[in-house]
A and B are shown apart, each in its own frame.
Chain A
Amino acid sequence: MALNRDFVGRAYTAPTPYEVSRVKIKEFADAIGDTNPIYSDRAAAADAGHPDVVAPPTFPIVFSLAGAGEALSDPALGLNYAMVVHGEQRFEYQRPIYAGDRLVCTSTITEIRSVGRNEFLTVRSDVTTPEGELVCRTYNVIVERGGAA
């Protein structure tokens, strides 16, 4: 079933800021097998000039779709999750993410298009501090296989 194009342009903000913790950064780094001490050791991070442990570049995937989840599971959109695969992903940083950051994530469905038999849906997430400082932007393209057939 084709996705509902009325969703293009809709924006969703996660109800509460995401609190970045040292424990979660370490858990994520362990899960990707990365033993860089900058992810787990405050002293090592400080030696490298950082205010606290740093999040790995792909860490925002943990929280960046929280707001859009509501939209993606809305029956009116028509997305069949069993057929979804991840098409593309991009992270654009204004500054690194550190433990202790409180991040507000606003996700916007920027595009829905058909390519062959598949539907492509792009979500842009703007990640800011509660004060409005832009920290990073993420772009997520999901593909619904057979959705346009």
Chain B
Amino acid sequence: MAATVKYDEVTAGQEIPAVEYPVRRVNLVMYAGASGDFNPIHWNERFAKSVGLPDVIAHGMFTMAQGGRFVTDWAGDPAAVVDYGVRFSSMVVVPDDDNGAVITVSGVIEEKLEDKCVVVVLTAKSGDSRVLSKARAVVQLS
């Protein structure tokens, strides 16, 4: 197992280009089933609005998973992620239309550590909101 990105070829401050991840209602239904989180705020608009939300919102863990996908696609190996943490700072509202919402993830290599590890800090936005904060992955490169 090995990342395709080489430790010696990256520098602190280097940016990882943004990727857009679309999210529609069907994705939330699939995520509910796969994760076991059937909270109706993630699939039932009537219920979501009854508890004061603007509409159905994505699972925080769905958004975190998109950040994970961003990091593993960049590193080239899912097993290269040795530590990954986020704070959920805002919600991703997913309307019931053909477009849904978009989560845009970008990253920057904040620091090079020992053992060929780097710290990648992620920015995840939906619309004008930052949906993750303190999003940070430690990735072991080759």
Spell out A's residues near B (CB within 8 Å).
24, 27-28, 30-34, 36, 38-39, 48-50, 54-58, 61-62, 82, 85-93, 96, 139
Contacts and interface: CB of A to CB of B under 8 A. Distances in A.
Contacts of A85: 60, 88
Interface string B64-96: 111011011100011101111111100000000
Contacts, number: 102
B114 to A, nearest CB: 17
A77 B131 CA distance: 29
A32 B88 contact: no
Interface of B: 1-2, 21, 27, 30-31, 33-36, 51, 59-62, 64-66, 68-69, 71-73, 77-79, 81-88, 134, 137
Contacts of A62: 34-36
A87 B132 CA distance: 10
Nearest to A61: B61
A55 B35 CA distance: 13
B34 A57 contact: no
Contacts of A96: 1, 78-79
A30 B34 contact: yes
Nearest to A53: B78
Contact of A90 (B33, B59, B77, B85): B85
B124 to A, nearest CB: 13
